[in-house]
Amino acid sequence: PNIEAALRDDLGKPAVEVLTGEVAVVAREIAAARRMLPRWTKPRRVGVPLFLWPAKAQVVPEPLGVVLIIAPWNYPLQLTLVPLIGALAAGNCAVVKPSELAPATSRLLAEQLPQYIADGSVQVIEGGPEQTTALLAEPFDHIFFTGNAAVGRLVMEAAAKHLTPVTLELGGKCPCLVDVKVDLDLVARRLTWAKFYNAGQTCIAPDYVLVHQAVESALLERLKRTITAFYGPDPTTSRDYGRIVNLRHFHRLTAWLRGGNGEVVCGGHADEATRYIAPTIVRNVPANAPVLTEEIFGPILPIVPVSDMTAAIEYVRSRPKPLALYLFSNDRALQRCVVAQTSSGSVVINHAVVQGVVPNLPFGGVGPSGTGAYHGKASFDTFSHYKSVLNKATWFDLSLAYPPYDDAKRKWLRRLV
């Protein structure tokens, strides 16, 4: 109940979204770590070249030390605790900095984490840029940052001073490709759910849709119908639809709705007092409009028609590598082609957003969408140093490699190495 209340305060998050998008993800990660820890922590034997025999070589994971975890506001619980689970599973201590823009959740974490983890291995520091900057001046053994790329640069710069390794979980524009021969009702349901979950404030939410022009109007029709089916004729009254985190983001998004970003097909309504922005779909968007050049991170979905899927792939390839890419198509050849010809943190075929809840799939970006990955074993790897240990027996010592080097030794060594 405390968690639900905090997330309702911060983001108007529906209880079901608290369960599926925050609590369940954390619980699954804990369960996976507890189950797999004996296997993850076990030293791994590796082979030794003949000329070094007799010897034993192994790779031994060890904790990095004290790590800093900096979290964003959109999934303020999950994006703080899931990295923490990995850090603790790998044996580290952690300083955790929740987002000041989700103050209720930040408070909850600051109050409750020390109660549950009472051995002092986790410290929660609350605050915004000023406190984070102060923390970043300290020499940590790893920094795990989730947030936007501008702050990511500051984190990397601060880390460079101490040669601290970083994981950067960043954002960007995640494209969604819709082919011709698809079940448009299914596409509309999955797309509507993925886009408007948490009112579009999801780093891997479909940012825009590249749809085959032959099905553009049919898709628009289905999306409109699905939005009404999900949130009712007036989504302001729906208990299943979230709110924008604060006024700064509310004004950033509503400024885009006032013009220059295409024609509003559905939604477009906003209410400042409750930070509500309707699930909104826009079309006929100019190529240089902000909704097509900046990360949207809110409930606005631009629909862009393309002549075919080759054009869609070209569109994606000519832009920065996204965090996630979605393809709706049953054409196996096209599925293979999209996976092979585009680069992104992840690809989901015929769904969206759900990759985040598969613990065995590493979660992270590539290039401008991020550096490094986590979830499940990938979290353990991120927060571990894999130390190489070579143990050479003493009962036998081949003198071939020692000086003085003569022709006979050289001949033997040539064979051996």
Which residues participate in catalysis according to the annotation? 169, 203
CB atoms within 10 A of CB 344: 23
* 313 binds ligand NAD per the rule CB under 6 A: no
> Pairing state of beta strands 324-328 and 276-277?
unpaired
Burial of 351 per CB tally in 10 Å (0-12, 13-18, 19+): middle
* 83 binds ligand NAD per the rule CB under 6 A: no
Stretch of 107-115, 129-137, 217-225, 326-334 contacting ligand NAD, by CB under 6 A: 129-137
Nearer to ligand NAD, 158 or 184 (CB): 158
Compute the least distance from the CB of residue 73 to ligand NAD, in Å: 4
Name the residue with the smallest CB distance to ligand NAD.
171
**Structure token pair of residue 10:** 């911060």
* 128 binds ligand NAD per the rule CB under 6 A: yes
Nearer to ligand NAD, 155 or 177 (CB): 155
Q: How far apart are CA 358 and CA 212, in angstroms?
A: 30
Question: What totals of helices (H) and strands (E) does the chain contain, helices first?
Answer: 15, 18
From 67, 71, 244, 352, residue interacting with ligand NAD (rule: CB under 6 A): 71
* 72 binds ligand NAD per the rule CB under 6 A: yes
As beta bridge partners, residue 57 has 46, 390
Query: What residues from 138 to 197 belong to the interface with ligand NAD (CB under 6 A)?
Result: 146-148, 151, 154, 169-171
Q: 82 phi and psi, to 5 degrees? A: -65, -45
Query: What residues from 349 to 368 belong to the interface with ligand NAD (CB under 6 A)?
Result: 365
From 78, 80, 132, 344, residue interacting with ligand NAD (rule: CB under 6 A): 132
- Residue pair 79/50 in contact by the 8 Å Cβ criterion: no
Q: x/- string (CB under 6 A) for ligand NAD, residues 88-127?
A: ---------x-xxx--------------------------
Helix 2-11 / helix 103-116 crossing angle, nearest 10 deg? 160
- Strand segments, DSSP code E, in 267-330 are 270-271, 276-277, 280-283, 300-306, 324-328
Compute the least distance from the CB of residue 155 to ligand NAD, in Å: 7
Compute the least distance from the CB of residue 244 to ligand NAD, in Å: 12
Compute the least distance from the CB of residue 101 to ligand NAD, in Å: 6
- Residue pair 24/82 in contact by the 8 Å Cβ criterion: no
* 299 binds ligand NAD per the rule CB under 6 A: no
* 370 binds ligand NAD per the rule CB under 6 A: yes
Compute the least distance from the CB of residue 329 to ligand NAD, in Å: 25
From 323, 334, 373, 378, residue interacting with ligand NAD (rule: CB under 6 A): 323
Q: 137 phi and psi, to 5 degrees? A: -75, -15
Query: What residues from 230 to 289 belong to the interface with ligand NAD (CB under 6 A)?
Result: none
| CB-side neighbour CA atoms (13 Å) of 16 | 7
* CA distances for 371 relative to 98, 176, 408, angstroms: 20, 22, 51
Sole residue written with tokens 């990360």 = 295
CB atoms within 10 A of CB 164: 20
Q: How far apart are CA 7 and CA 3, in angstroms?
A: 6
Q: How far apart are CA 218 and CA 210, in angstroms?
A: 14
Compute the least distance from the CB of residue 150 to ligand NAD, in Å: 7
Q: How far apart are the first and last CA of the chain?
A: 65
Compute the least distance from the CB of residue 28 to ligand NAD, in Å: 16
> Pairing state of beta strands 208-212 and 300-306?
parallel
Compute the least distance from the CB of residue 227 to ligand NAD, in Å: 23
Nearer to ligand NAD, 79 or 304 (CB): 79
Please tell me the count of residues contacting ligand NAD according to CB under 6 A: 28
Stretch of 11-19, 30-38, 67-75, 159-167 contacting ligand NAD, by CB under 6 A: 67-75
* 17 binds ligand NAD per the rule CB under 6 A: no
- Footprint of ligand NAD (CB under 6 A): 70-74, 79, 97, 99-101, 128-129, 132-133, 146-148, 151, 154, 169-171, 203, 295, 297, 323, 365, 370
